[in-house]
Structure 1
Amino acid sequence: MASSGLQLLGFFLSLVGLAATVGATLMVEWKKQYQGKTHRIFEGLWMSCSGNERTTCEFHQYLLKLPIEVQATRAVMLISVFLSTVALMVSTVGMKCTRFMDGKSESKSTTAMIGGIMFMIAGVLTIIMTSWYVKKIVDNYHETKTLQSFEFGNAVFVSWAGGLLTAAGGAFLGCRRCSRSQATSSMSSNNHLLPPMGPKSNYV
């Protein structure tokens, strides 16, 4: 029962992490810039927005003209979302609370572990890529040393949170000992119910 609870916790954390990763990928506030007191500029992976009280947004028209950190982050975030989506389906099959592969406990636990590992890879990719994106912004800020430089926005924190939650949920799902604990306990209980197979003594 405890291992099933850990699997449900890991699945829930990974699901929330996936939602946060998707939200961060679509958010426009990956980096921001303030010009004066009212004019704001936001740039995301897919579009940029600018304005005062009302902002107008437009999609990036040319992929090759985008900075390298935007191109790389966009690609890796999409890969992370894809891996998490596949891991979501794989974990659903391998979890103990589902009825898939009920007659194959060993294969079921292995499937849950594979799903957890995929979640962990997706989470680590998100964390590494987001940190590299932030590093590029900070390096550019120190190189220019002007007040008009970009700073990283709220999407960075959402992406970090999504990566951490996805990796943590995958760690719970990928715990091999947790996945096998119920099967091991059931086998040990069955062994106690079996009669002893020791040698019999013949009495005259």
Structure 2
Amino acid sequence: MASSGLQLLGFFLCMVGLAATVGATLMVEWKKQYQGKTHRIYEGLWMSCSGNERTTCELHQSLLKLPIEVQATRSVMMLSILLSSVALLVSTVGMKCTHFMDDKPDTKSITAMIGGLLFILSGLLTVIITSWYVSNIVHIFKASHRLESYEFGKAVFVSWAGGLLVIAGGAFLSCRRCSRSGSESISVNHLLPSSSSTSSSNPKSNYV
């Protein structure tokens, strides 16, 4: 089982990554388009905005009319947030700094590992769906007239960062061998004096 400090670091990274994932899901600048020098159009997963100095935003009215990349990205991002929320609860139960299941250390260790694995799965979903979304935007940009096509916006980078942070934090939480070498060395050090004392006591018993 990972040390308490390593678990806290992983938990903090997962919290920051989850916040970034939620923020990216709600951001409107997933893709952008500039018409002329002042007119801007932004498309998000939930709404679209357009305007010059002041932009007006409208929620997407129909899900079926949205592009397939928007529908898929919205669904997978929501699934990723749900998995991270479940992993948050599971990891809290299994962390060393909490008092849940203190009488069952093996079960507590497995619970923390499961929470970390759920975080890793959530982060992978975020990174994969964001990369797929970007690849679609780039493909459309190259295939169509560049002045009339969209480019990917800031929300993509926030989503990537959130997914990578969640993966890193989940790796720390699910690491069961990080402190095993230290515990094994401690147990060996405890065994060495006893073995030396028994070896030293045996010659004395032979002289008696």
TM-score, scaled to structure 2: 0.88
| CA RMSD between the two structures | 2.5
**Share of identical aligned residues, percent?**
71
- Alignment partners' CA distance in 2, 1:191 and 1:84: 42
Output the amino acid matched with 1:110. Answer: I
Q: How does 1:23-38 map to 2 (within 5 A)?
A: 23-38=23-38
Summarize deviations over 1:17-71 as a string: whole Å, max 9, x none: 0000000000000000001111100000000000111110010001001000000
Structure 2: gaps of 5 or more residues: none
Structure 1: gaps of 5 or more residues: none
Q: Does 1:102 align with 2:120?
A: no
Aligned residues, how many? 203
C-alpha contact (below 8 Å) 1:63/1:71 kept by paired residues: yes
Which residue in 2 is equivalent to 1:117?
117
- Alignment partners' CA distance in 2, 1:3 and 1:185: 15
Alpha-carbon shift at residue 178 of structure 1 (Å): 2.9
SS at the partner of 1:29? Answer: coil
TM-score, scaled to structure 1: 0.90
- Alignment partners' CA distance in 2, 1:202 and 1:67: 88
Output the amino acid matched with 1:105. Answer: P
Q: How does 1:30-179 map to 2 (within 5 A)?
A: 30-178=30-178
> Whose Rg is larger?
2
* Larger CA deviation: 136-145 vs 179-188: 179-188
- Alignment partners' CA distance in 2, 1:181 and 1:111: 21
Output the amino acid matched with 1:125. Answer: L
